[in-house]
Amino acid sequence: MSQQSSQGVSRRGFLKGSGAAVAASTVVSSTEAEAAAPGLQVVSGETSITMKVNGKSMTAKVEPRTTLLDVLRYQFDLTGAKPVSLDGSSGASTVLVGGKAVMASTTLALAVARKEVTTCESLGGDVVPAAFVEHDAQQCGFCTPGFVVAVRAFLNRHPDATEEQIRAGLNGNICRCGTYANILQAVISLVKGN
């Protein structure tokens, strides 16, 4: 949320705006708009934006209300980030924007125009998914991609985290099957092993 509020844009505002009609106008300051003319700008209806997703430049057609999650899942077919709780309280839609973990479900697509987005799908060669497999830190697996990205972001900030820090620092994600004990072991193995 800090990402959006720092730009004076809230999802609530967009949703309220979009409630009246698809083409509802909302005051927005997207990065693209800022590049052209600094300050606030009115964006309405459907517009095209580009973003760098997993290193590739991608174009999406979005309305002001369109979430990053919907763009990833429906336009780019990147379905690792999951729609579990649209208010972001499950962490299942965690992706990195500019290296920072955000919930794609509460991030408006316009707010990430021209930014770098990293999703779970790009972490195939990363040590985090491998540690999840080794420690069986997954059951049904629906929360797993969000957790993997959250762990990646956590380790970037705390490469030498203690167990206490890990227990305190990964509480933004929910797992219903109860894989927390395994996730904890996976993360401990990474701070110790790497």
Partner 1 sequence: MAEVTYSWPENHKARLIGKRISRLDGMEKSTGTAKYTYDINLPKQLIVRALGCPHAHCRVISVDASAAERVAGVVLVHMIKAPGPGDDPVEIRADGTLLVAVAAETEAAAAEGVSKLKVKYELLESFVDDHDLQAAEAKKRTKKAGGGIELDEALGEPGDDDDEEEWEEQKVQELFAQSKYVVEGNYGIDTITHCCLEPHGSTLHWEGDRLKVNLSTQNVSRTDDGYADALKISADEVDVHCEYIGGGFGSKFKPDYWGITAAEIAKKTGRPIKFLLTRDQELKIGGNRPSGFIDVKLGADENGVVQVWDSHHWGTSGFNGSTVSVGNFPYVFRPKNWRRRATGIITDNEPSVAWRAPNHPQACAITQTAYDDLAAKMQADSLDIFLRNLENIDSPEKSLVYAEQLRIAADLIDWRKHWHLHGKGNRRGSVVEGLGIGIHKWGGTANSSNCLLKIHPDGGVESYCGTQDLGTGTRTICAMVLAETLGLPIDAVKVNIGSSTYPFSGASGGSTTVGAVSESHRRAAQEVLAQIFDLVAGKLEVPADKLEASNGSISVVGYSDKSMSWKQACSLIGIQPLEVTSIYKRGDDSPLSSSNVAGCQMARVAVDTDTGVVKIIKMVAVQDMGLVMNRKTAESQIYGALIMSIAAALFEQRINDPKTGAFINSELDNYRLPRLGDTGELVVHFHEPESERARGVIGLGEPPAISGGAAIANAVCNATGVRVPTLPLTPKRVLDALRTAKG
Quick one: which segment of 4-12, 26-34, 36-44, 75-83 binds partner 1 (CB under 8 A)?
75-83
Q: By three-state DSSP, how is residue 59 classified?
A: strand
The Cα–Cα gap between 140 and 158 comes to: 28
Quick one: which segment of 3-11, 27-35, 67-75, 110-118 binds partner 1 (CB under 8 A)?
67-75
Which of 127, 174, 188, 191 binds partner 1 (CB under 8 A)? It is 174
Question: How would you classify the pairing of strands 94-97 and 116-118?
Answer: antiparallel
Does 65 engage in binding with partner 1 (CB under 8 A)?
yes
Would you tell me the crossing angle of helices 127-134 and 180-193 to the nearest 10 degrees? Answer: 130
Alpha helices in 25-80 (DSSP H): 31-36, 68-70
Chain-centroid distance of CA 130 in Å reads 21
Does 144 engage in binding with partner 1 (CB under 8 A)?
yes
Which of 132, 152, 153, 155 binds partner 1 (CB under 8 A)? It is 132
Q: For partner 1, which is the closer residue by CB, 58 or 142?
A: 142
Is-contact 9 108, C-beta < 8 A? Answer: yes
Nearest to 74 by CA among 58, 96, 97, 55: 58
Q: Would you give the binding string for partner 1 spanning residues 32-61, x where CB under 8 A is met?
A: ------------------------------
Instruction: Give, for 3, the enclosing helix (H) or strand (E).
Output: helix 2-5
Quick one: which segment of 27-35, 36-44, 80-88, 96-104 binds partner 1 (CB under 8 A)?
80-88
Which of 6, 48, 134, 159 binds partner 1 (CB under 8 A)? It is 134
The CB-of-98 to partner 1 minimum distance in angstroms stands at: 20
The Cα–Cα gap between 106 and 93 comes to: 9
Binding site for partner 1 (CB under 8 A): 18-19, 21-22, 63, 65-66, 70, 73-74, 77-87, 89-90, 92, 119-121, 123-124, 128-130, 132-134, 136-145, 148, 166-168, 170-184
